């Protein structure tokens, strides 16, 4: 005896899915829905970043103190090589150069760490990506948030260094907040770009330290770009000063250090800082979202 005909006979797979409200597993949602899903996971993003921050130095005896000790040791090495041996502090008093150098190291480390964490955000967390359904952008965002929390912890030491060399609290210190907001947006967008690239090319994690080192030397972490390049064509110094890492470092130095005035900043610096932040944050977010359904596969 044959089975009675089904009302679904003759319907294609697409028609059946539409009839019963089915969707492709892991399909990329629309951009607005994706943002809404991320907002719904905001508590996970914050908790994940805090857990990563706590676990980062859990095996070291000094623990979280390495968050401050590492950039300070880097600054000490750079001062020895560039400040004492190569005289990269030309044109600056010692009371200005040391806060100048420490600020540059701390601020650039924020971007460097966000980029390096972003490269491994997907490829280094494949178990989580394959086991749970959540918007994958939560990972690079949480890693950037982790680096921001680490920088905020380190800012206490930066304030002590600034005060120790004669830069006392003043109204310009309030500018630190918008500088950090803009740099965080920039770093997050860059982390999402690197997360998508790193998800398909794991070897990128081995290449990026060389890229970041080159970027550091080109951004004036250890020296003043216009002073060091005063005998070179102006356009070289202009290009280096307009690069986003140099922009955020110089704005932080201007806000924090008494002897670092506006004459050290390129024109329209706040507009450029905001432009870099919005361009990279929005562009990086869309770039990452477009590959949402491919993360963790293959």
Q: Angle formed by the axes of helices 66-78 and 94-119, to 10°?
A: 120
pLDDT in tens, 66-96: 767 777 787 788 778 776 676 666 667 778 8
When mean pLDDT is compared over 22-31, 94-103, 248-257, the highest value belongs to 248-257
DSSP-derived secondary structure letter, 293: G
What b/e string do you get for 6-27 counting C-beta neighbours within 10 Å, with b at 16 or more?
Answer: eeeeeeeeeeeeeeeeeeeeee
Cα gap 138→1, rounded to integer Å: 55
When mean pLDDT is compared over 85-89, 126-130, 251-255, the highest value belongs to 251-255
134: left (phi over 0), alpha (psi -120 to 50) or beta: beta
pLDDT in tens, 3-42: 565 565 565 555 555 555 544 555 778 899 999 999 999 9
Give the start-to-end residue ranges of the domains of the chain.
28-292
Q: And the tokens for 39? A: 């907002």
Higher pLDDT, 186 or 18: 186
pTM for the full predicted model:
0.86
User: Among 258, 214, 269, 266, which Cα is nearest to 97's?
Assistant: 258
Q: And the tokens for 138? A: 């939560």
Question: Token pair 């932080």 is at which residue?
Answer: 252
Stated as kind and residue range, the H or E segment containing 290 is none
> What values do phi and psi take at 225, rounded to 5?
-60, -50
């Amino acid at each position: 005896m044959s089975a009675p005909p089904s009302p679904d006979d003759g319907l294609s797979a697409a028609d059946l899915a539409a009839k019963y409200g089915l969707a492709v597993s892991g399909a990329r949602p629309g951009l607005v829905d994706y943002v809404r899903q991320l907002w719904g996971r905001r508590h996970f993003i914050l908790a994940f970043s805090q857990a990563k921050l706590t676990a980062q130095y859990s095996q070291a005896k000094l623990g979280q103190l390495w968050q401050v000790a590492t950039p300070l040791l880097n600054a000490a090495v750079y001062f020895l090589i560039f400040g004492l041996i190569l005289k990269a502090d030309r044109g600056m008093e010692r009371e200005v150069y040391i806060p100048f150098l420490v600020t540059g190291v701390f601020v650039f480390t924020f971007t460097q760490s966000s980029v390096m964490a972003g490269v491994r955000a997907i490829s280094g967390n494949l178990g989580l990506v394959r086991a749970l359904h959540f918007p994958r952008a939560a990972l690079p965002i949480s890693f950037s948030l982790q680096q921001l929390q680490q920088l905020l912890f380190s800012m206490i030491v930066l304030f002590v260094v600034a005060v120790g060399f004669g830069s006392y609290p003043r109204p310009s210190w309030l500018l630190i907040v918008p500088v950090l907001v803009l740099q965080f947006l920039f770093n997050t967008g860059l982390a999402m770009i690197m997360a998508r690239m790193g998800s398909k090319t794991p070897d990128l994690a081995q290449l990026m330290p060389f890229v970041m080192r080159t970027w550091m030397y080109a951004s004036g972490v250890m020296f003043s770009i216009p002073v060091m390049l005063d005998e070179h064509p102006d356009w070289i110094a202009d290009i280096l000063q307009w690069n986003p890492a140099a922009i955020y470092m110089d704005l932080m130095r201007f806000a924090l250090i008494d002897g670092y005035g506006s004459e050290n900043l390129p024109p329209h610096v706040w507009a450029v800082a905001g432009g870099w932040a919005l361009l990279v944050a929005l562009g990086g977010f869309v770039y990452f979202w477009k590959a949402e359904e491919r993360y963790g596969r293959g």
